[in-house]
Amino acid sequence: MNNQADGLSGEQLGQLRRVLHCPILTPDDAEYEQVRHVWNGMIDRKPLVIVRPTSIADVIQSVRFARERGIAACVRGGGHSVAGKSVADGAMMIDISLMQEVQVDAGKQTALAQGGATWGVFDSESEKFGLATTGGVISSTGVCGLTLGGGIGWLMGKHGLSCDNVISADLVNADGNHLSVSATENEDLFWAIRGGGGNFGIVTALEFRLHELPSVHGGVMLYPRPLALDLLRQYRDLTLNAPDELTAYAALLVGHGHPMAAIALCHSGPEDEGAAACKQYQLSTPPVADMVGKKRYTEIQTMLDFSVPAGQHYYFKCPFLRELSDEAIQTIVDFAERMPTEQSQVVIEHMHGVASRVPVAETAFGLRRVHYSINIMPAWSDPSLAEKCIGWAQDLASALTSFGASDAYVNYLGDEGPSAVKASYGANHARLSSLKQKYDPDNFFRFNQNIVPAG
């Protein structure tokens, strides 16, 4: 499978236009420039051609066309892969983002999301019926891209990961065939896609279990940075005993030029319990801003959108720590004092509750345990700052190894390579690799956190 250096020939383009019934963009089209760009502005790649399926048939024909001609293909959903896995030079980009419908069945408490839906659409549609499931905390992230890698979010403590709520999926495999997968159909693929990323096919729809959620209690509170040590220690102590209903993140960031420390919370249980649980996270000194209260779930699901605008340059290092020792906290706070830009931040996510208790062999997601993901996220606009920003993130990640920092969530990996992917899957990697050999031995789907086919 080759990435093609030159464009498609006129004949090939004609053939493609005959089999597809959807927009096809080449570098000559004005829209091509806009669609090839993904969330991370640092990624600047030029696909050979961009196809934008509007039906399952288009997805099938795109895969068959690329396979038959030895053209590499990458798949773009919400475009949030920090490493830009959804766009590749010289490949056919199959941009599934026009397939973005979400249909809710309120009676059955399920939702069917098309392959290119975002969490913004998913949450708004579900909320019309007072229902929700675990999803990503930034509304422009793709439902499928996130769920296929696991899916952590505010409801993970009570309802598990996004992938734990998948009932069934439809996908187009590497042979260009459309398959249904569930607990009773293609069971091995059903296991693999719940954590195994886009390695096994292009998912055209995911069916989710929904849960009743009339409202939540949560929001963000901000403190001046000099209180960061106290805030993070208290955060650590409280999260040790957090109820499943409460998920809490902490962050060190800069707001309007002022270095800040923040707590972001979401409690999905009864209102009075939520209010009391969130109040515990306040320090005795009042916050400079307290935006915590009773909210619609979609308010919580969009409240952080402003902090990661598309188009800035980003780099992630997100190691896990099983414990937040005083020394680890001190190190994080010290590095935050030297943040390379005002757009940069460090976010600490507490993974716990049902998400950590599902048996590790039940789905492909590899890291079922209580831990903290330390998301070191430099961001910048001036390309000349790249080295400084990336170096800062790598130095902090490496400083945290002395406190036991190890593997990372597969959806937060950059270009760390096969050993990091293997570590993310832990005990599940060997089975995933065998299934990759069974379903995609030529590694057609390789623009992802790649699981190399066994043998």
Ligand X SMILES: Cc1cc2nc3c(=O)[nH]c(=O)nc-3n(C[C@H](O)[C@H](O)[C@H](O)COP(=O)(O)OP(=O)(O)OC[C@H]3O[C@@H](n4cnc5c(N)ncnc54)[C@H](O)[C@@H]3O)c2cc1C
* Site residues, ligand X (CB under 6 A): 38-39, 75-82, 85-86, 96, 115, 136-138, 141-142, 144-146, 148-153, 198, 202-203, 308, 411-412, 447-448
Closer Cβ to ligand X, 333 or 421, answer by number: 421
Pairing status of strand 258-267 against strand 293-295: unpaired
Dihedral Cα 159, 164, 166, 169, nearest 10 deg = 170
Q: Residue 121: CB partners within 8 Å, gap ≥ 6?
A: 100, 101, 102, 113
Q: Least distance to ligand X from the beta carbon of 316, Å?
A: 8
Closer Cβ to ligand X, 85 or 234, answer by number: 85
Q: Least distance to ligand X from the beta carbon of 229, Å?
A: 26
Closer Cβ to ligand X, 333 or 355, answer by number: 355
328: which 2 tokens?
């680890």
Residue 169, beta-bridge partner list: 181, 206
Q: Least distance to ligand X from the beta carbon of 49, Å?
A: 16
How far, in Å, CA of 48 to CA of 86, rounded?
Answer: 13
Closer Cβ to ligand X, 144 or 210, answer by number: 144
Residue nearest to ligand X (CB): 145
DSSP symbol at 454: P
Q: Least distance to ligand X from the beta carbon of 82, Å?
A: 5
Q: Least distance to ligand X from the beta carbon of 32, Å?
A: 17
Closer Cβ to ligand X, 82 or 260, answer by number: 82
Nearest alpha-carbon partner for 282 in 197, 220, 215: 220
Residue type, 225: R
Q: Least distance to ligand X from the beta carbon of 321, Å?
A: 17
**123-148 core/surface letters (b: 16 or more CB in 10 A; e: else):** bbbbbebebbbbbbbbbbbbbbbbbb
398: which 2 tokens?
């490496």
Q: Are 293 and 217 in contact (CB under 8 A)?
A: yes
Helix (H, G, I), strand (E, B) or coil at 47: coil
Closer Cβ to ligand X, 263 or 333, answer by number: 263
Q: Least distance to ligand X from the beta carbon of 55, Å?
A: 14
Closer Cβ to ligand X, 223 or 365, answer by number: 365
Pairing status of strand 102-105 against strand 110-114: antiparallel
Q: Are 174 and 445 in contact (CB under 8 A)?
A: yes
Helix (H, G, I), strand (E, B) or coil at 285: coil
Q: Least distance to ligand X from the beta carbon of 350, Å?
A: 13
Closer Cβ to ligand X, 138 or 242, answer by number: 138
Closer Cβ to ligand X, 47 or 78, answer by number: 78
Q: Least distance to ligand X from the beta carbon of 199, Å?
A: 8
Q: Are 292 and 303 in contact (CB under 8 A)?
A: no
Residue 363, beta-bridge partner list: none
How far, in Å, CA of 26 to CA of 185, rounded?
Answer: 38
